[in-house]
Structure 1
Amino acid sequence: MFKFTSAVLLLLVSTAPLLADDMPVNADAIKWGPVPPFLPAGAKMAVVAGDPSKDGIFVLRLQMPANYKIPAHNHPTSEYVTVLSGDFNIGMGDKLDEAKGMHLTAGGFGVAPAQMNHFAWTTSATIVQVHGEGPFAITYVNPADDPSKK
């Protein structure tokens, strides 16, 4: 299994186009950038509040195209996801299995408890808001699924 170190977390923060000032912001003012290399290419990310590389609460948004898939993984802390738009599917388990997921639409909410293996995919263009306790780390169940290794 692969864990991201503080150097990779620094990369996450340094590549995020918007490190929030923890000020109010409207959706049209959010600056999106490519996701860090430990997430599959094709999505965009924006840090809305906090700093995912440090201790403390963070909030980020992921903008994903239709048919975007995040293989089974876990985090050392709980992850909380709110669907802002689109169709987001989340499931628990050691391998992405679309038969075992829950379909969430705008306003839907999901929790992946700390150390719980989970996976996700979209069926339409989707934006989710993710919040949790930093520092953020991700461990893929199958190291071959780690996009940064491809």
Structure 2
Amino acid sequence: MLSRLLASAFVLAGVNTAIADDMKMPINSGELKWEAAPPTLPKGADIAVLSGDPSKEGLFVLRLRMPSGYKIPAHNHPTDEGATVISGNFHIGMGDKLDEKKAIELRAGGYAEAPAKMNHYGWTSSPSVVQIHGQGPLGITYVNPADDPSKK
């Protein structure tokens, strides 16, 4: 009996070692590499990719850093999107047009999820960082095509 327990412990220890060996290098927020957000988002935001590649098939995690007063018009994505507020005040609402009266203010630790194709919008009332995760490839379709900054 004891030998089976020891054997199981060694097997589990080996599994844990294998998982640790496959783990990506941990990173602190001060070490993130920020760059200008892609032209599909309004100018003024920065992006840092933490995991995966949002332009390719597969899971991704990124952070979006936005100044106070930054607005993202109503849009949707082809896949589900999860968002966690890391810092600041991020307001999010569901619908076809940015409506500040119909949104919820999320503070650090707040979470929102938008199913694929659900129209939603957001803005900041203070400098904010929001972590976005989902299944790539990440796309964005603005409800009003005139709101698409990549077309201007």
TM-superposed deviation, 1:22 = 3.9
TM-superposed deviation, 1:53 = 1.1
Counterpart of 2:96? 94
Question: Where does 1:1-150 land on structure 2 (aligned, <5 Å)?
Answer: 22-150=24-152
Question: Counterparts of 2:48 and 2:86 in 1: how far apart (Å)?
Answer: 14
Question: Counterparts of 1:115 and 1:54 in 2: how far apart (Å)?
Answer: 18
Q: How many residues align?
A: 130
Question: Counterparts of 2:101 and 2:41 in 1: how far apart (Å)?
Answer: 22
Secondary structure at the counterpart of residue 99 of structure 1: helix
Question: Counterparts of 2:150 and 2:29 in 1: how far apart (Å)?
Answer: 29
Question: Counterparts of 1:24 and 1:129 in 2: how far apart (Å)?
Answer: 16
**TM-score relative to the length of structure 2:** 0.84
Secondary structure at the counterpart of residue 101 of structure 2: helix
Which protein has the larger Cα radius of gyration, Structure 1 or Structure 2?
2
Q: Which amino acid aligns with 1:31?
A: K
Question: Counterparts of 1:53 and 1:42 in 2: how far apart (Å)?
Answer: 21
Question: Counterparts of 2:86 and 2:34 in 1: how far apart (Å)?
Answer: 15
Question: Is the 1:61–1:130 contact (alpha carbons within 8 Å) kept by the matching residues of 2?
Answer: yes
Structure 2, gaps ≥5 residues long: 1-22
Structure 1, gaps ≥5 residues long: 1-20
TM-superposed deviation, 1:24 = 1.2
Structure 1 residue runs of 4 or more that deviate by more than 6 Å after TM superposition: none
Q: Which amino acid aligns with 2:58?
A: G
Secondary structure at the counterpart of residue 144 of structure 1: helix
Q: Which amino acid aligns with 1:58?
A: F
